Amino acid sequence: MISGSSESKEQTFSNRVLKWTKKMSSMATVCGSTDQLNNIAPSDSFEGMVEDKPEGKRVPSRGYHNTSKGMKVTKASSNDSYDHDHHTLATATTATASFSENEHDDGSYMDLSKRSERRAAKPYSTHSFPAGKHTFTVDTRYSMNRVVGSGAYGVVVSSHDSRAAEDVAIKMVPKAFNDEVDAKRILREIKLLKHFKHDNIIQIVDMMPPNARYLEDYHDIYMVTDLMETDLHRIIYSKQKLSIEHVQYFAYQLVRGLKYIHSADVIHRDLKPSNLLVNSNCDLKICDFGLARGIHPAHGEDASGTMLLTEYVVTRWYRAPEIMLACHEYSKPVDVWSVGCIFAELIQRKPYFPGDDYIDQLTIISKKLGKPSDSDLDFVTSEKAKRFMRKLPSDPAPPLSSQFPGTPSNALDLMRKMLSIHPRKRIPVEDALAHPFFAQLHSADDEPVAEAPFDFSFEKEKLHRIRLQELIWQEAGHFRPSCLPVAPRRDGLREV
Ligand SMILES: Nc1ncnc2c1ncn2[C@@H]1O[C@H](COP(=O)(O)OP(=O)(O)OP(=O)(O)O)[C@@H](O)[C@H]1O
Ligand SMILES: [Mg+2]
């Protein structure tokens, strides 16, 4: 149970939304209609972005990298060239699942939300339709609208849910168990999304029951979530006008969501514009929790509240200096750094620290923010890294007011505090919410925290392919009890 989900809090929040809507009425006008959002165009400046390889083996292939395949940078829409012709119900074929039958009684079960209850209430059958290079096989209640995104791990479609009479997003991860690290990432994301209940975090509302007679034959994973109209990357690189009120509202919602995530002792670790989903009314929700980690003492935190981990993989441009300098010792401030980078990118409409490699990244940071003093390098444990930093040019950085001309000083003050090179001097989320830049939006009573930390202990056991298949099947069973118990193994063993 999450504190933010109580009725009284929800009540408070809807009042709050009303308040925001009033304040932001001019922004909503500027943000404009869905059509406007759908037709935004890419900026050339983003073409060169290279993401570091995530911890799994799949290579990121975001739409905006993929111009050679005709994938537009824009949100998929009726104008999208991405195999759009195939994305119609007319091409959908009704399929008989190879699973025991294609009608399932999901009867009584569901505790996620009323929407989920409605989803689980009746029997279902499956049908298939192409989506990009993949074939979706889903409950017939879900029909295909269009592809809305693709990432390193899968393809996301907008779909109409005929039973709930609303549009949803379905993310499909094909052949999810071919790589155990990838599958673990998906398991983590499902569990986190189930745990979180917050207006600024995307919510999972359904999963497709596995379509397999034996556990080994479970391959493709489908997650149904709230549908959003686009993501912040597409907004930033569109022709959409962005006022400082837009920046304020987006940044506020991001920090509000982050406060909740951090209160669950979770670090997102991959905050970047494409992982922030937005609607034309400027609502923002954080997505993509595949790289999230815990900081709970039981899960590797040391006395200073930081973690020592061997790998770190967040997209370089948003990566905090301590990750590059301090031998992978990091905690919640890494997310605040990413927020600071996104904040700056929203204003300048280009990445603030677009390093070509990690040396270049640190050089740009030092050039724009000033070389840190020796005392500000006390968090750096590696002597080699310290030597590198000391050798950087000492030219004073231009003041932020000249790097961001016309930007209000309280915005720059907050940005500077988020971009403190020293992680322990970086502003924590609670203080950021109370900063004068957010004065019009901030309400301490309406920035909920999680009731309990998220439990990452499931990651402690060695998760082999078959065990991951079992665990994710169980997660699907949470939404679709009729697919439980988990199917047997081919050799008849139930133990995995
Ligand atoms: N619920 C949603 N509503 C609308 N669009 C979405 C939704 N979920 C994802 N998208 C779009 O799909 C893209 C990829 O989604 P997501 O980040 O979850 O996938 P991923 O494969 O983990 O991506 P990455 O390449 O960052 O690892 C997002 O950047 C966004 O544009
Ligand atoms: Mg993503």
Over the chain (496 residues), the average pLDDT of each successive run of 10 is 36 46 43 40 27 37 26 30 24 31 36 47 78 93 95 89 97 95 94 98 97 94 97 97 97 98 96 97 96 68 43 77 78 96 98 94 97 92 91 95 98 98 96 98 97 93 94 97 93 62
With a 6 Å cutoff on the Cβ, whether 202 touches ligand 1 is yes
Looking at the 3D structure of the chain, how many domains does it have?
2
Both 211 and 269 in one domain: the answer is no
The pLDDT of residue 314: 66
Both 222 and 271 in one domain: the answer is no
With a 6 Å cutoff on the Cβ, whether 149 touches ligand 1 is yes
Is 396 within the bounds of a domain?
yes
Which residues, including other chains, have CB under 8 Å from residue 138's CB and lie 6 or more apart? 126, 127, 128, 159, 170, 208, 222
Residue 270 is a catalytic residue: yes
Is 492 within the bounds of a domain?
no
Distance (Å, rounded) from C-alpha 425 to C-alpha 82? 45
For ligand 1, atom 26, which residue shows the shortest CA distance?
A: 151
Both 253 and 213 in one domain: the answer is no
Both 202 and 252 in one domain: the answer is no
Distance (Å, rounded) from C-alpha 208 to C-alpha 476? 7
pTM over 0.85: no
With a 6 Å cutoff on the Cβ, whether 51 touches ligand 1 is no
Is 21 within the bounds of a domain?
no
With a 6 Å cutoff on the Cβ, whether 277 touches ligand 1 is yes
The pLDDT of residue 14: 45
How many angstroms separate the alpha carbon of residue 276 from the centre of ligand 1?
9
Is 428 within the bounds of a domain?
yes
The pLDDT of residue 216: 96
Distance (Å, rounded) from C-alpha 421 to C-alpha 251? 20
Both 320 and 333 in one domain: the answer is yes
Both 426 and 280 in one domain: the answer is yes
How many angstroms separate the alpha carbon of residue 310 from the centre of ligand 2?
22
Distance (Å, rounded) from C-alpha 49 to C-alpha 62? 11
Both 285 and 249 in one domain: the answer is yes
Both 234 and 224 in one domain: the answer is no
Ligand number nearest to the C-alpha of 66: 1
With a 6 Å cutoff on the Cβ, whether 153 touches ligand 1 is yes
The pLDDT of residue 70: 23
Is 138 within the bounds of a domain?
yes
For ligand 1, atom 17, which residue shows the shortest CA distance?
A: 288
Both 202 and 280 in one domain: the answer is no
| Chain-centre distance for alpha carbon 124 | 30
How many angstroms separate the alpha carbon of residue 423 from the centre of ligand 1?
28
CB count in 10 Å sphere of residue 94: 10
Is 31 within the bounds of a domain?
no
Question: Residue 317 maps to which CATH number?
Answer: 1.10.510.10
Both 248 and 329 in one domain: the answer is yes
Both 193 and 329 in one domain: the answer is no
The pLDDT of residue 27: 38
Cα torsion 54, 58, 59, 60: sign: negative
Is 426 within the bounds of a domain?
yes
Question: Residue 215 maps to which CATH number?
Answer: 3.30.200.20
The pLDDT of residue 114: 52
For ligand 1, atom 12, which residue shows the shortest CA distance?
A: 149
What are the phi and psi torsion angles at 92 (to 5°)?
Answer: -70, 140
To the question of whether residue 171 is assigned a binding role by annotation, the answer is yes
With a 6 Å cutoff on the Cβ, whether 280 touches ligand 1 is no
Q: Using an 8 Å Cβ cutoff, are 234 and 279 in contact?
A: no
What are the phi and psi torsion angles at 201 (to 5°)?
Answer: -130, 135
Which residues, including other chains, have CB under 8 Å from residue 56's CB and lie 6 or more apart? 152, 153, 179, 181, 182, 185
DSSP string, 96-109: --SSS-S-B--TT-
Of 320, 317, 311, 275, which Cα lies nearest the Cα of 293?
Answer: 311
The pLDDT of residue 25: 41
Distance (Å, rounded) from C-alpha 381 to C-alpha 375? 13
How many angstroms separate the alpha carbon of residue 55 from the centre of ligand 2?
13
Is 34 within the bounds of a domain?
no
The domain of 472 spans: 100-228+460-483
For ligand 1, atom 1, which residue shows the shortest CA distance?
A: 227
Both 286 and 397 in one domain: the answer is yes
Pick the atom of ligand 1 nearest to 272's CA.
26
Place of tokens 């074939």: 135
